[in-house]
Structure 1
Amino acid sequence: MIQNSLLNKKFKILKKEFDTISKSISIPKIIYDKIKYKTLLKQYNKIDKWIKYYHEYNKKLSYLHELNDVLEHDSDPEMINIASSEKKNILEEIMSIKNKLLNNNYSSQTSQNINDNHRNAIVELRSGTGGNEACLFVEEILRMYIMYFKQMHWKYKIMHAQKSGSTGYKEIILEVSGSNKKGSVYGNLKFESGVHRVQRIPKTESQGRIHTSAITVAVLPEVQELEMKINISDIKKETFRSSGAGGQHVNKTESAVRLTHIPSKMTVECQEERSQHKNFEKAMNVLRARLFQQELDKRFKERSFQRKCLISTGDRSVKIRTYNYPKQRVTDHRVKKTIYDLTGFMNGNIQKMIDFLKKK
């Protein structure tokens, strides 16, 4: 049932894109633009092929219902025998078409939309260069996002937090859910993935020199278990006592969970819940999202996308934004856009910048 739901969702997105392209290639202005027309026509033919696959799939489903009706109500042994044989063949054909439809990306726009629409997100913030200043900036960016989530009426929950020795966080992981007219959580937040750089005078700086620090933000799409299967034999599970707030419970039970995915050597910790079982579930969600993102990154690299695709794929290795406190400005380097209201930006007013990135 879940696979059928995913197929229907894919078809709706595909049909919408197909209809848009169909209208576009009939516009005289587009027809006279040979390069644009050729590109759109190529997309049209590609999507048309998959539309036909969907129609074929639905026809075979209808035929399967007819065969089931014969097997259930017909008393003729010969008819039952024929229907039974036909059913076996049609089921194989249905599964073959279904696998094609589920495992293929139909176009760059469509595959991206499928990934973005209706998805919640896991947001990971980590301190980078700059020591204590970077840890403090993680805390400030966390506050910025929380205020943004409130504006968007999204819910969030801390899954894992690692405080620094003095102030701020070395690492914090959030689970964010919700939706509104601006789109899904992941559809908006994916643009935040990357290196965020801050330029300012630290409180501890006696000579008034500007320091540069950096943190990394990783936004991962929330992934359902059916979409990313993980063999439990590939997981090494460790438990330990939680650290931080929590009273006596923290010191008495080993509720915190550390999971290591042996093939990829990827490690995830979760300690915010009092229950070891809940921490395990949350850690699995994070692991699943990271592995899913790793697979997406691999596909994008294999297809040799140009540099501008980093905006949509959320490549975290690239410096995307600078927060300059002396000049009260925030600059996004991907779209070369500067907003001269750093205070408002840090208070969660970041949608304007995200909208610029969506248009790029």
Structure 2
Amino acid sequence: MNTRLDEILRKKNDLSVMMADPEITSDPNKYTKISKEYSAIEPVADEAERYLSLEQQIKDNQEMMAEEGCDPELKDMAQMEIIELKQELEASKKRLDTLLLPKDPNDDRNVILEIRAGTGGDEAALFAADLFRMYSRYAERKGFKVSILTSSDIGIGGYKEIVAQVTGTDVFAVFKFESGVHRVQRVPETESGGRVHTSACTVAILPEAEEVEINIRTEDLRIDVYRASGAGGQHVNKTESAVRLTHLPSGLVVTCQDQASQHKNKAQAMKVLQARLLDKEQSEKDSERAEARKDMVGSGDRSQRIRTYNYPQGRVTDHRINLTLYKLDQIMNGEMDELIEPLITHHQAELLAGQS
């Protein structure tokens, strides 16, 4: 343990020296890379320093107590201090165990958020809009930025599908457990009999791909342009601004018509296509890992029912960790920390159990 902590402290010091090197500070790419490494290791190194300091304090007290002629009163005080220091050391070790867990390589990425209406017709589309509003407000609370890439609305405030980019610091780490089927139980506005209906939406959280990671060959891509339809600006039905990209080898299709220009729609569609291809590639590569994690909250299975939002009872239930909160209004208003933080904690506990 201590050998590993010493290595971490040396690494932090090395990175600190590199960040002051004129050769690195003059190269934005190198400096950004080193800065990210430093930011990642800093909290671990700080906790390592705390842990090693506590160990040393305990050792110093024990050596003092072992000295001949040590004052009994001083010895009692040192013994009391050792008890407190050992409690602090145990707490520090638990924090270190969590900080030293293997990092998900996607955690620091931006995400592509996809929400699709499932069973339930118009009510499901309205719930899709509610979910998007919930995530947008939560993202705002976290200091993230949300940009709609493409959407298909039904004209009454709902969405058949909406795709957005969420950017910020460690966005994927925050949102990655939201993939799956979200079920809503409520009385639709169009229901005259007051009966509770059940509808569902599917949410997908995709780590955003870097262009260098996913190289899409021109010959593998079919690009169709057409006139945008539905509610929109003056360009709707007047110019061929909408774009449909078909990736021939995988069969993936992405459409985008929300932007006023064909060029912007193509760029947005390409961003979504790259994210879907990266997700597909990682899923195939990590099939063995996914099998080992299938019972964990981070399995990412988008056919899995993960959460139910019950409006008559004002409750939200996450079925993966059996968590029920009677705070539906607050959660739908973007106050999601009480939902998301237990999922992250549960996931870390699973990883710790797996290591031991």
TM-score by length of 1: 0.69
**Which residue of 2 is the match for residue 69 of structure 1?**
none
**Which residue of 2 is the match for residue 109 of structure 1?**
102
AA matched with 1:115: N
Q: What is the CA distance between 1:124 and its match in structure 2?
A: 0.6
When residues 249 and 306 of structure 1 are mapped into structure 2, their CA distance, relative to the original with a 3 A threshold, is closer
For the 8 Å contact 2:315–2:327, the answer to whether it is kept is yes
When residues 167 and 115 of structure 1 are mapped into structure 2, their CA distance, relative to the original with a 3 A threshold, is closer
Tell me the SS of whatever aligns to 2:246: strand
**Which residue of 2 is the match for residue 149 of structure 1?**
139
**Which residue of 2 is the match for residue 196 of structure 1?**
182
**Which residue of 1 is the match for residue 298 of structure 2?**
312
AA matched with 1:136: L
1:149-298 superposed matches below 5 A? 149-164=139-154, 167-179=157-169, 184-298=170-284
| Cα deviation digits, residues 14-56 of structure 1 (max 9, x gap) | 97899789x99xx9x9xxxxxxxxxx9xxxxxxxxxxxxxxxx
Which segment is superposed worse, 296-305 or 221-230? 296-305
**Which residue of 1 is the match for residue 130 of structure 2?**
140
| Counterpart Cα distance in 1 of 2:257 and 2:28 | 31
When residues 207 and 14 of structure 1 are mapped into structure 2, their CA distance, relative to the original with a 3 A threshold, is closer
When residues 206 and 18 of structure 1 are mapped into structure 2, their CA distance, relative to the original with a 3 A threshold, is closer
**Which residue of 1 is the match for residue 336 of structure 2?**
350
For the 8 Å contact 2:254–2:269, the answer to whether it is kept is yes
1:84-95 superposed matches below 5 A? none
| Cα deviation digits, residues 227-258 of structure 1 (max 9, x gap) | 22221211110001112343432122111110
Tell me the SS of whatever aligns to 2:209: coil
| Cα deviation digits, residues 180-230 of structure 1 (max 9, x gap) | xxxx22211112111000011222333332211100011111111012222
AA matched with 2:235: H
| Cα deviation digits, residues 300-344 of structure 1 (max 9, x gap) | 3233323234x2242211111000011100011111111111111
| Counterpart Cα distance in 1 of 2:133 and 2:188 | 18
When residues 17 and 247 of structure 1 are mapped into structure 2, their CA distance, relative to the original with a 3 A threshold, is closer
For the 8 Å contact 1:190–1:313, the answer to whether it is kept is no
| Counterpart Cα distance in 2 of 1:124 and 1:342 | 22
Tell me the SS of whatever aligns to 2:201: strand
| Counterpart Cα distance in 2 of 1:162 and 1:11 | 40
Identity of aligned residues (%): 47
AA matched with 1:232: T
AA matched with 2:330: G
Q: What is the CA distance between 1:164 and its match in structure 2?
A: 2.1
